[in-house]
Structure 1
């Protein structure tokens, strides 16, 4: 019996009723059959010990145990958490799901609110569909449960004391989230559809790439919501969001991640297909890039544009299997059961609050129309769309459920629809919790950075006295700290440079630029592969004690209460790390943020970030960014992979003062360039 209980916990999700379309073909799970564990039909009436089962009773009849397990693990929710090694976490999920059999039993008020949010989700799509037929909007139809899910996430985050949520998402359902969750003025959206808002739209990027921010009220207080701008390159926004979150946490001295929460929405095909997803997960628990856990929501409509065969789309059972790599719990849920969706949402937020790790909600839904509204999907998915055409919408199904339960009357349901449509007709905000007069403390003042000519004079020189004072501090090593022989020579050489006894070199010019900026109140963040030492052994910003391996970072200990100096050797990734630093630098303009390539030639591992964000973000979306890329390379006979940094690529991307490409030839130029930046 205990083995049977365990089998349900491990494999119940494989028999859960997750697919609203009922087209999934899944093999029978032998382990879930009592006969597999040598239990017969006659044993159903016998009483057994329940072990660790949280059904509230130490002994139960086998029949009741099996029925309870079926409800808990094979209903609308398929929970994968038994791959996690931490027993506390496994117990936590069992104690959340088993006592209520994964059926939370919400009161009427909550159920009405869920229907109201579904009505908003469906209402907007219908309205846009009839007012702007055939216009691409990448609607949420078939996945309307995302709106009550987001609503619950925000309210619950506020309850736990969060002050900001940063959202990242692709095109699917974005307009719906903007209007129904972030409270974008519907009238503004209609103007975009009608082409009335072109004057200030930069390069005219599509409306489902635009970011947005607003403040909403929760039971726990006001929360700032920020939707990241993103290109069509799927999933690259994920590390950008994480970088922005880390910067906001740093700004609030939030070292555990209680005050700023990242929520990232993915498509099933891209989540399984794009390598940057793995890189982002790999960062999640590191010193330099951790944010205290991310909530991932996969809008799993079972088709990527026209690709729906599983043996074309991926090699894994689920599109979410990559998340197991960091022992993240994965909650699969049938999107046509909105109460189950809200239940897993609450669990996800509570889990992140409790364990500060990543968690995935796999919202199994469908796509009512084509990839976009001008597309005919039946050409490539005939069987799927035959089913979809006959299927009632999520809102319809749920409304019928509430009417049958006597929670609402048909008239009330109809009235809810009409009220929403009237609000859109009148161009009113449709998010009731929207704060009209937001608390200015939640914002950052960018005015100091806007509207300057790039040729504006900038004093980058520093008094000799200051350099000598800082130079002395940079070479101080703690008592009894044993420095390696070659490194010791570099330290003593720097002492001579400070005294003017020998000419300064590259490493000194760079380190001194950082020291003087810190002295003037600017925080510094430096990341990349092997940046502590530097690929060319020139930086040595981090010294390692030869006796016990302890570290000494002089730049972090120049004076009391100095600005933060952070230096992290990154994971061996270019794309996600550069995207993270872009997100960080667009959020903290007062910080010098530096990403260094191991060799400049390897920067093209992050070409998407360079093309879609760094060089074009300001033109497309008005996003300012002060990220510095260091691309070290030299002609030291190491062949074409180590000697060019592909400078010509950066020059091709330069226009309208979007980037400065500098090739310094002296250490003093390095010093002044970094200070000017």
Structure 2
């Protein structure tokens, strides 16, 4: 044995001894080659030491060498992405770390020429060749993060990454070049035709277009069941996407830039780079629907909406015994994906049972710059913009966007991974932005060094053409032909690709059958019955037994029973229902109990799922602790379908966390994009002394958003009203979002209960005075109000036996029932003293809205009784609340009108 060989053994004896100790504890925890050796030692009852290691020196040396190589290669898998040339602007700037070099492992040049067998892929190959292969795989133009994945997923990716990548044929390469040229021709011509106009150019990340086209091509082959792809994306490259992916006509884009008025059928009322599109593409002998969602400038918010759209389609497909038919693709910006909290929320939703959509392909257009900010210390606290993906153990593929063949290779792997594991996957297209954030900006103002590099950087079209030219795959004449082809199509205002317009669906009106009392009683009994030998909680059992009494007419129906009865009615008539929200199964205030739980077994029972074989499907999910993403998801689920979809805030105040969804989708989605939604939003509201975050649902904000009959805002005050309101929403032909200001203390209030015979009516927009014995001639004033305060006033009036004040409830605030109100007040024509009473402060609630209607529509003055103006919705001290409430009630009956 020479000195070098001795040194190898001396350097590694402790390592071998450590392996041996691991073998003694768990033989399967080490490499199988070492298992054979240690088994031999054990069989011969030998002690592991330097002497007996020396006897089979060459064999052990080879094993040590293999062990070192395995460790080196594993480090490539873990750390290689840090040293990959993924940035097209700074190639070859990173020096590879020592732990990825042969000499770090004391592998000599002589050793590097030895042939070894590592596995089925690397058999009898030189160490240096294996090393170079791994260096090329993990440190060239692709950076891969996957070592944190579960073992089976990690192994799958390893097996699919560590292969020879050049499997593209000549025809495919020509197609990719043509797609890059079409992308460039569009951008350059729009830029010339409308200089200075905002277009959010794709130039610098042109590879997005062939990437998406490859997703469509490859997915149509790899997934036989695929019927639809739904995209969500921000502004960058959107116009190019519309032309080259969705098949929008060039002339239509030009008209939008030229401000030429649209045809009457085109009612979209938003800027051109927010608009969506739907089309059908024929590919590989099948038709695939493509849908690009409309979205606002809150870039990432669209992702939760499209997730809801996908889930609805998935649920519908499952009902028809079809699975995995929809492919969702989210296209992000690098600054947005790391900067906007909604991304964390949607990832947290991604594998939960109420919101799982079998995996999303995320693509990041990584410009390395936000608006004007490119310094990493100003943009985020993580190394990569995609680091948030690790929270749900998703693979991330960083790829140099100038290297189109690497992009295609990664894209195919991402599609296969998503289809096999039904999980999200991220493709980080590291690129640049050739111009400013928009074409008006001068990026040199803030990024002079970066834009000097970009100015001198060849486009991906030129880079790829030069590569194909060098391999004699294409020549200059063929390239010129492609440029002329798309130039002519642009000049003609024609289509760049062939798609067909999606035919519009005709809405079918569902006929509502208003069940007779006997039928309603049977339904209520059915949903109030639980299985035999079911160990129900005593408190829940009492609620269910009370509901059985209600079904027999022995008790009035309370709110929870009425609500559940409405769902039973709707489901029985074939309409499906989906409910979600924090604790919605039980109800925040323990009133609903749609799902009941066995107290001894892991078993739950949902009566509403067991009505009949022909009933609509019923889904109810306790949501994650999020308002924004969940409400956006439910809005997306509700778009353009006839189901009942309900989201309930735990307290109405919590909807503040979803204000973007309310402002930019629920209230304006129809006006801007033609999105029809019948989403119902339950907002628990009422002043019971629980403080600023548990009192007000901010009615004033919703009223401010009302215009053009865009939404409905209702405050039902009793059980029959909520029942009829829900049924009315289910069977209304005109779909509008419904905001229900729902109660808390009224859920069990005796006066808010209803006789079951009252359920055979309809939702009353206004409820007139209920005391028929009041003498109209003696009335001094009319009090208008909504919700809970009505019962406070009623109880006080009864206690003092007052007969000169009438109470009128306005149950629908918008659209305001002006005709109904005129009809009611015509009975009280001689009364001039009108008052509006509310619990909310004067600058909140419905007061300003009501005052405007009375003054401008009814020509009546109306006075205010309620809390004074406040910057906070309510006090947090119960005794102050009680004092304020008493003062309001007292003022109603003792207001000095002089």
Instruction: Deviation per CA, 1:236-284: give whole Å up to 9, x if none.
Output: 0000010000111112227885101100100000000111001101111
| Counterpart Cα distance in 2 of 1:104 and 1:501 | 78
| Counterpart Cα distance in 2 of 1:415 and 1:276 | 45
Task: Tell me the residue number matched to 2:805.
Answer: none
Q: Out of 164, 168, 176, which is 1:106 matched to?
A: 168
Structure 2 stretches lacking a partner, 5+ long: 1-68, 730-898
Structure possessing the higher relative contact order (Cα contacts under 8 Å, 6 or more residues apart): 1
Instruction: Deviation per CA, 1:132-154: give whole Å up to 9, x if none.
Output: 11110001000000000000111
Task: Tell me the residue number matched to 2:239.
Answer: 175
Contact 1:114 1:148 in 2 (8 A): yes
- Offset of residue 448 of structure 1: 4.8
Shift in CA distance, 469/205, structure 1 to aligned 2, threshold 3 Å? same
Q: Out of 536, 542, 561, which is 2:614 matched to?
A: 561
TM (norm. structure 2) is 0.71
- Offset of residue 583 of structure 1: 0.4
1:229 partner SS: coil
- Offset of residue 640 of structure 1: 1.5
Structure 1 stretches lacking a partner, 5+ long: 450-457
Shift in CA distance, 26/554, structure 1 to aligned 2, threshold 3 Å? farther
Contact 2:85 2:91 in 1 (8 A): no
| Counterpart Cα distance in 2 of 1:419 and 1:296 | 32
Q: Out of 187, 194, 199, which is 1:132 matched to?
A: 194
Instruction: Deviation per CA, 1:599-633: give whole Å up to 9, x if none.
Output: 11101110000000000111111111111000113
Shift in CA distance, 445/346, structure 1 to aligned 2, threshold 3 Å? farther
Shift in CA distance, 24/573, structure 1 to aligned 2, threshold 3 Å? farther
Shift in CA distance, 256/325, structure 1 to aligned 2, threshold 3 Å? farther
2:712 partner SS: coil
Contact 2:566 2:724 in 1 (8 A): yes
- Offset of residue 422 of structure 1: 0.5
Contact 1:634 1:643 in 2 (8 A): yes
Task: Tell me the residue number matched to 1:120.
Answer: 182
Once the two structures are superposed, the pairs formed by residues 514-663 of structure 1 within 5 Å of their partners are 514-587=567-640, 589-663=641-715
Task: Tell me the residue number matched to 2:891.
Answer: none
| Counterpart Cα distance in 1 of 2:578 and 2:97 | 51
Task: Tell me the residue number matched to 1:239.
Answer: 304
2:311 partner SS: helix
- Offset of residue 49 of structure 1: 4.0
Matched, 1:6 2:6: no
| Counterpart Cα distance in 1 of 2:439 and 2:606 | 56
- Offset of residue 46 of structure 1: 2.6
Task: Tell me the residue number matched to 1:387.
Answer: 453
Contact 1:272 1:314 in 2 (8 A): yes
Task: Tell me the residue number matched to 2:821.
Answer: none
Q: Out of 159, 162, 185, which is 1:95 matched to?
A: 159
Q: Give the aligned length.
A: 657
| Counterpart Cα distance in 2 of 1:185 and 1:223 | 19
2:90 partner SS: coil
Task: Tell me the residue number matched to 2:331.
Answer: 265
Contact 2:230 2:326 in 1 (8 A): yes
Instruction: Deviation per CA, 1:56-89: give whole Å up to 9, x if none.
Output: 233432211110101111111111111102x221
TM (norm. structure 1) is 0.94
| Counterpart Cα distance in 2 of 1:621 and 1:10 | 45
- Offset of residue 203 of structure 1: 7.5
Greater Cα radius of gyration, structure 1 or 2 = 2
| Counterpart Cα distance in 1 of 2:168 and 2:589 | 62
Task: Tell me the residue number matched to 1:343.
Answer: 409
| Counterpart Cα distance in 1 of 2:619 and 2:497 | 40
Once the two structures are superposed, the pairs formed by residues 278-357 of structure 1 within 5 Å of their partners are 278-357=344-423
Task: Tell me the residue number matched to 2:868.
Answer: none
| Counterpart Cα distance in 1 of 2:426 and 2:547 | 50
CA RMSD of aligned residues (A): 1.8
| Counterpart Cα distance in 1 of 2:519 and 2:364 | 53
Task: Tell me the residue number matched to 1:403.
Answer: 469
1:496 partner SS: helix
2:717 partner SS: coil
Task: Tell me the residue number matched to 2:215.
Answer: 153
Q: Once structures 1 and 2 are overlaid, which stretch shifts more, 464-473 or 566-575?
A: 464-473
| Counterpart Cα distance in 2 of 1:256 and 1:78 | 36
2:299 partner SS: coil
Shift in CA distance, 473/656, structure 1 to aligned 2, threshold 3 Å? same
Contact 1:14 1:29 in 2 (8 A): no
Contact 1:144 1:394 in 2 (8 A): yes
Task: Tell me the residue number matched to 1:474.
Answer: 527
2:157 partner SS: helix
Task: Tell me the residue number matched to 1:445.
Answer: 506
Contact 2:229 2:327 in 1 (8 A): yes
| Counterpart Cα distance in 2 of 1:514 and 1:135 | 51
Task: Tell me the residue number matched to 1:21.
Answer: 89
Task: Tell me the residue number matched to 1:454.
Answer: none
| Counterpart Cα distance in 2 of 1:604 and 1:465 | 42
| Counterpart Cα distance in 2 of 1:629 and 1:466 | 28
| Counterpart Cα distance in 1 of 2:513 and 2:196 | 55
| Counterpart Cα distance in 2 of 1:146 and 1:656 | 39
Q: Out of 142, 149, 160, which is 1:84 matched to?
A: 149
Task: Tell me the residue number matched to 1:193.
Answer: 257
| Counterpart Cα distance in 1 of 2:97 and 2:82 | 7
- Offset of residue 674 of structure 1: 0.9
Contact 2:574 2:614 in 1 (8 A): no
| Counterpart Cα distance in 1 of 2:485 and 2:692 | 66
| Counterpart Cα distance in 1 of 2:447 and 2:152 | 44
Contact 1:460 1:672 in 2 (8 A): no
Q: Out of 347, 354, 374, which is 2:440 matched to?
A: 374
- Offset of residue 298 of structure 1: 0.3
- Offset of residue 11 of structure 1: 1.1
Contact 2:332 2:364 in 1 (8 A): yes
1:252 partner SS: helix
| Counterpart Cα distance in 2 of 1:34 and 1:522 | 67
- Offset of residue 30 of structure 1: 3.3
1:241 partner SS: helix
1:112 partner SS: helix
Shift in CA distance, 107/199, structure 1 to aligned 2, threshold 3 Å? closer
Contact 2:572 2:614 in 1 (8 A): no
Contact 1:532 1:567 in 2 (8 A): yes
1:126 partner SS: helix
2:144 partner SS: strand
| Counterpart Cα distance in 2 of 1:163 and 1:202 | 27
